[in-house]
Amino acid sequence: MPATSPSSLVRFIKRFSQRSSSNSNSRTPRFTSIVTATTLATQLFATLLLNGCAGLPYRRPEVPVPPAYRGDTTEHSTRQNSLGTLAELRWQDLIHDEELSKLIQEALSHNFDVQIAATRVLEARAQLTISRSARLPALDAQAGYGNSRLLALDSSASSLSVSLGWELDLWGRIRNMSVAARAELLASEQARRAVLQSLVSDVAGNYFLLRDLDLELEITRHALKFREDFLALVQLRVDNGYSSEIDLREAQVLVESAHTAVTSLELQIEQTENQLDVLLGRNPAAIVRGRSLLEQGLSSDLPAGLPSALLERRPDILQAEQQLIANHALVAVAKAAYFPVLCLTSSSGFESSALHDLFSGSGAVWSIGPAASLPLFHAGSIRAGVRSAEAIQQQALLLYEQTVQEAFREVADALVTRRKLAELRIEQEGLVESLSAAVELADLRYRGGVASYLEYLDSERQLLDAQILLVQIRREELANIITLYRSLGGGWQ
C-alpha cells in the first residue's frame, strides 16, 4: 500500500478548493456541490488513513564502513582479482587434512545444534504459512443436533451449515504480519548458517588443539627419555664420586616432573577427544588423526577483501537485519489497530425441527453481509502497543549496528593476530635453535667436568619450555586462520 506524500495532499486540497469555488459561482444546484464536497472530503479522509497506516518502506540503515580493515596489509586490487579472498573459499578448499574434513562432514550431519537450528527454520516456515493464510477466506462447516423437554413437550432441532469469512486487509495489517513472518524465516535461516559456521570453526579448532597436545606429548616423552638416560649418567658419576648427591636429586626431580607432564597431557588429550565427540554428535571415543600439526597447510596469505562485503556475507549481520525488517513490519501492524476491521461473512445450510426434514426446501437458510468493528476506547492500550513496537524496532536497529561494529572488530583482531603470530613464531624458532645449541654445549661441558649440573639443568628446562611454546604458537596460527575465516563470513557454505 503506497504512502501518499505531503505535496500530493497539498495539490489535492488546492484542487478541492478550486472546484468548490467554481461550483459556488456556477449555476449548478447546491445539492450537487454538497455531494461533490462530501465525496472529496471522504476521499481526502481515506487518503489520510491509508497514508497513516501504510508506514514508511524499509531501508537498510546506513552504518559507517571503513575503506579497508585495520591491520590488513594485502594488496586488494592486484591479488583479489586473481586469487579471490579468504572468505570466498569453501571450507573444503581451505582445509587439506582428509581426517579433519571427515570430522567436519560428520559434525554437519549429526551435531545436535545443527539439527535444532534446522527445526527452528521449519517452525518459522510454518509460521509464515499461518500468516499468509490469513489473507485468504476461511471456510468452516458446522453441524448440530439438540433435544429438550419442557412441560411434557419434546422438541428437537437439527442444523447443518457452511460459513465463509474473509477479513479485508485495508490497512495492511495482515500483509505486514506476513512480511514480519517472512523476515523471521530468513533470520532463522541465517541463524542456522551461523551455527554451521561456528561448528566448522569449533571442530577445526579442537582438532588443531588435539594435534598440538599430541606434539607436546611427543616432545615431553622425548625429554623424559633423555632425562632418564641423563639420570643414569648422574647416578654413575655419583657412584664414582664425580658428582654430589644434590645433582642426583635434581636429576630425579627432572624425571618426575616429566612424568607428571606426560600424565597431564594424556588427560588433556582424552578430554579434547571427548569434546570433539560431542561436536560430532556421538559418544566419547578415540579420534582418528590425520596430518601432524606441522604439516597442516592453510591458505593464510589470501586477502581479507573489502569491508563492505561483510554486510552481505556474515550470517549474524544478515540475521540482525532480518530481525530489524520483521520489527519494522510489526510497527505497521500495531498502527493498524487504530483503524476499523472489516470482514465479509456468509453462511448457507439447513435447519429443521425434524431430522428427516433437514434437507427439505423449507429448511434451507442463508445469510450474507459485512461486519465491521471500530476501536473507540481502549484506555491507551493501542497507543502503548505502537510505542512498544517502535521501542522493539529501535532495539533491533541498535543491535544491528552493534553486530556490524563487532564484526569489523573481530576481523581487525584476527588480522593483527595473524601478523604478530607470524613474527612471534620466527623469533621463537630462533630461540629454540639457540637453546638447542646451548643444551648440547652444556651437556659436553658437564660430561667433561667443566660445568656444573645446574648449568645443564637450566638450559634443558629452557629448551623444553621453548619447544612447547613454539608448538603452541603454531597451533594458534592455525586457529587464527580459522577465526579470520569465520570472522569474514566463511565456513558455512
pLDDT digit string, tens, across residues 269-308: 999 999 999 999 999 999 999 999 888 877 667 888 888 8
Q: What is the mean pLDDT of the chain?
A: 82
The answer to whether position 11 is within a domain reads yes
Distance of CA 33 to the CA centre of its chain: 62
In the three-class reduction of DSSP (H, G, I as helix; E, B as strand; rest coil), residue 450 is classed as coil
**In which residue are the cell numbers 658428582 written?**
243
The answer to whether position 141 is within a domain reads no
The answer to whether position 354 is within a domain reads no
* Integer Cα distance of 10 and 377 in angstroms: 31
Contact between 483 and 414 (Cβ < 8 Å): yes
| Same domain flag for 186 and 236 | yes
| Same domain flag for 288 and 227 | yes
| Same domain flag for 229 and 311 | yes
Does residue 16 surpass a pLDDT of 70?
no
| Same domain flag for 130 and 76 | yes
Cβ neighbors of 347 (< 8 A, separation 6 or more) are: 161, 162, 163, 164, 365, 366, 367, 368
DSSP letter at 209 equals: H
pLDDT confidence tier of residue 21, bands split at 50, 70 and 90: very low
- On the 0-12 / 13-18 / 19+ scale of CB atoms within 10 A, 112 is exposed
> Ranked by mean pLDDT, which of 154-163, 175-184, 375-384 comes out on top?
175-184
- On the 0-12 / 13-18 / 19+ scale of CB atoms within 10 A, 235 is middle
Q: What is residue 76's predicted lDDT score, i.e. its pLDDT?
A: 47
| Same domain flag for 128 and 49 | no
The answer to whether position 242 is within a domain reads yes
* Integer Cα distance of 222 and 214 in angstroms: 12
Does residue 402 surpass a pLDDT of 60?
yes
* Integer Cα distance of 324 and 338 in angstroms: 23
| Same domain flag for 70 and 45 | no
Distance of CA 93 to the CA centre of its chain: 23
Contact between 218 and 354 (Cβ < 8 Å): no
| Same domain flag for 3 and 109 | no
Cα–Cα distance list, 466 to 194, 220, 243, 473 (Å): 37, 12, 28, 10
Q: What is residue 275's predicted lDDT score, i.e. its pLDDT?
A: 95
pLDDT confidence tier of residue 166, bands split at 50, 70 and 90: confident
Helix (H) or strand (E) holding 351: strand 341-352
pLDDT confidence tier of residue 265, bands split at 50, 70 and 90: very high
pLDDT confidence tier of residue 317, bands split at 50, 70 and 90: very high
| Same domain flag for 43 and 94 | no
Q: What is residue 246's predicted lDDT score, i.e. its pLDDT?
A: 86
Helices (H), 134-244: 173-239
The answer to whether position 365 is within a domain reads no
* Integer Cα distance of 36 and 16 in angstroms: 9
| Same domain flag for 185 and 40 | no
| Same domain flag for 196 and 239 | yes
Crossing angle of helices 173-239 and 315-335, in 10° steps, is 150
pLDDT digit string, tens, across residues 438-479: 988 888 887 777 777 777 788 888 999 999 999 999 999 999
Cα–Cα distance list, 76 to 84, 417, 458, 490 (Å): 9, 19, 48, 18
Per the structure, the complete domain to which residue 13 belongs is given by 1-54
* Average pLDDT of the residues in 5-20: 47
Lowest mean pLDDT among 37-51, 177-191, 384-398, 434-448: 37-51
| Same domain flag for 446 and 324 | yes
Lowest mean pLDDT among 67-81, 249-263, 298-312, 383-397: 67-81
The answer to whether position 493 is within a domain reads no
Q: Where are the beta strands (DSSP E) in 96-152?
A: 138-150
In the three-class reduction of DSSP (H, G, I as helix; E, B as strand; rest coil), residue 301 is classed as coil
Q: What is residue 333's predicted lDDT score, i.e. its pLDDT?
A: 92
Instruction: Report the number of distinct structural domains present in the chain.
Output: 2
Q: Which residues pair with 148 in a beta bridge?
A: 155
Q: Which residues pair with 489 in a beta bridge?
A: none
Q: What is residue 134's predicted lDDT score, i.e. its pLDDT?
A: 84
* Integer Cα distance of 13 and 37 in angstroms: 11
* Average pLDDT of the residues in 58-62: 89
* Integer Cα distance of 467 and 216 in angstroms: 8
Looking up residue 262, the CATH number of its domain turns out to be 1.20.1600.10
